[in-house]
């Protein structure tokens, strides 16, 4: 039996408990930029599944195909106009409160002009980070989706994997722009940051690996250069999982290489796709690098004349030329026990099933 005094005590305890834990019980608010893209939309889906109150950063022309969930709040942020961006974030904060995390995914992986990489991948990152700091609209971590491309060529002969201590020296305009964004963030003392450097990301909604998968379906197993090339991969869902686990564990001020932990030669990758597609025979084509380069430049020029952005371009040539993309994910294993759900064969299988369902393959 509980006496009145005891009851009051219990109520007071409950009130204090509720007050103390209100913040913890409130839904965490997250902003994901580049939400309309392949990776951004995958991260958005995971955020919603985890119960985050999710803001999807888009722009006026963005496709909303993967952003149909009615719980989503869409926001068109003006990264190119720092003052407007600051105003937008201030208004957002005044009306709904601050973000517990921002995952900055918006970025260019291919561009018509080299300077666009710098503008979007570096300047826009800087503008967003500055506006968040000025307005106090972010109370938690700023996650930058960088890339393994920041590394540039590593051990191209002994095939030693990149590791956390490897010194980046990117050779592509893309990699250089991502490294500049990383260096800017790392120089910030008042903004908690986290940098993710994924290798090639594949999964449902991706259109880049789809080109290689389609080639295998047509009976062509294509590789660039004759010397062994080691490739690495990460499924988009595993990438999303790794980011949220890092966030939930409150890890900050670190950068992580991200891959599934295995490496494959280009032949092994194509053979995996071939097996998954059940393609009995393929023609193996190795294109010499001296031919790939002019073809890449030509593709870039033709696309520019047609007002398009080429997937196969001079930056991509350097990526195709690089022989060693292996990387050590030991720190992720140690810090969050990272175990990817998708090994390449199963990941490619689920991805091709998605492509088929969508009529893409």
Ligand X SMILES: NC(=O)c1ccc[n+]([C@@H]2O[C@H](COP(=O)([O-])OP(=O)(O)OC[C@H]3O[C@@H](n4cnc5c(N)ncnc54)[C@H](OP(=O)(O)O)[C@@H]3O)[C@@H](O)[C@H]2O)c1
Task: Collapse the DSSP code of 126 into the 3-class scheme (helix H, G, I; strand E, B; otherwise coil) and give the result.
Answer: helix
Q: Which is nearer to ligand X, 192 or 203 (CB)?
A: 203
Shortest separation between residue 201's beta carbon and ligand X, angstroms: 4
Least CB distance from residue 38 to ligand X, whole Å? 4
CA dihedral in degrees (272, 275, 281, 284; nearest 10)? 0
**CA distance to 88, 137, 139, 238, per residue, from 93 (Å):** 9, 6, 11, 31
Q: How far is the CB of 164 from ligand X (least distance, A)?
A: 17
What is the chain's percent helix, strand, coil content, to nearest 5?
45, 15, 35
Residue nearest to ligand X (CB): 37
Q: Output 277 or 319, the one with its CB closest to ligand X.
A: 319
Shortest reach from residue 191's CB to ligand X, in Å:
18
The residue among 107 and 168 lying less far from ligand X, judged by its C-beta, is: 107
| C-beta of 79 vs 282, nearer to ligand X | 79
When the beta carbons of 201 and 246 are compared against ligand X, the nearer one is 201
DSSP 49-79: HTT-EEEEEE-TT---TT---TT-EEEE--T
Minimum distance, C-beta of residue 302 to ligand X, in the bound complex (Å): 21
Paired with 141 in beta bridges are: 101
User: What's the CA gap between 332 and 212, in Å, rounded?
Assistant: 29
Tell me whether residue 279 or residue 303 sits nearer to ligand X (CB atom): 303
Residue 208 C-beta: closest distance to ligand X, Å = 6
Exposure of 29 by Cβ count < 10 A (0-12 exposed, 13-18 middle, 19+ buried)? buried
Q: Which residues contact 210 (CB under 8 A, 6 or more apart)?
A: 355, 360, 361
Closest distance between ligand X and the C-beta of residue 131, in Å?
14
Contacts 24+ apart (CB under 8 A), 71-74: 72/44, 72/48, 74/35
Site of interaction with ligand X (CB under 6 A):
34, 36-40, 59, 61-63, 79, 105-109, 120, 145, 147, 198, 200-201
End-to-end CA distance of the chain, in Å? Answer: 69
Beta carbon nearer to ligand X, 40 or 347: 40
């Amino acid at each position: 039996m509980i006496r009145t005094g005891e009851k009051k005590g219990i109520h007071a305890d409950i009130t204090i408990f509720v007050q103390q834990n209100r913040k913890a019980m409130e839904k965490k608010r997250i902003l994901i930029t580049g939400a309309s893209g392949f990776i951004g939309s995958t991260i958005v889906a995971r955020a919603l599944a985890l119960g985050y109150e999710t803001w999807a950063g888009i722009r006026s022309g963005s496709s909303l195909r993967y952003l149909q969930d009615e719980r989503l709040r869409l926001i068109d942020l003006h990264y190119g106009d720092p003052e407007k961006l600051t105003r937008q974030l201030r208004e957002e904060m005044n009306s709904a409160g601050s973000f517990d995390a921002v995952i900055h995914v918006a970025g260019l992986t291919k561009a018509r002009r080299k300077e666009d990489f710098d503008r979007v991948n570096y300047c826009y990152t800087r503008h967003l980070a500055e506006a968040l700091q000025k307005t106090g609209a972010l109370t938690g971590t700023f996650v930058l989706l960088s890339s393994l491309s920041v590394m540039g060529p590593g051990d191209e002969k002994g095939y030693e994997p990149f590791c956390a201590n490897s010194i980046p020296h990117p050779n592509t305009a893309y990699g250089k722009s991502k490294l500049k964004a990383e260096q800017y963030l790392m120089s910030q003392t008042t903004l908690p940051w986290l940098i993710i450097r994924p290798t090639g990301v594949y999964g449902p909604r991706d259109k880049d690996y789809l080109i290689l998968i389609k080639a295998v379906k047509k009976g062509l197993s294509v590789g660039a250069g004759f010397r062994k090339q080691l490739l690495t991969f990460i499924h988009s869902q595993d990438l999303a999982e790794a980011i949220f686990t890092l966030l939930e564990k409150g890890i900050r001020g670190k950068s992580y290489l991200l891959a599934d932990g295995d490496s494959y030669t280009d032949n092994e990758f194509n053979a995996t796709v071939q097996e998954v597609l059940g393609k009995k025979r393929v023609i193996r084509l190795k294109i010499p690098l001296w031919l790939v380069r002019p073809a890449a430049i030509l593709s870039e020029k033709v696309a520019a004349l047609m007002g398009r952005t080429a997937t196969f371009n001079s930056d991509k040539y350097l990526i195709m030329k690089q022989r060693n993309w292996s990387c050590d994910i030991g720190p992720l294993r140690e810090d969050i026990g990272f175990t990817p759900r998708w090994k390449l064969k199963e990941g490619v299988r689920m991805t091709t099933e998605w492509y088929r369902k969508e009529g893409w393959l």
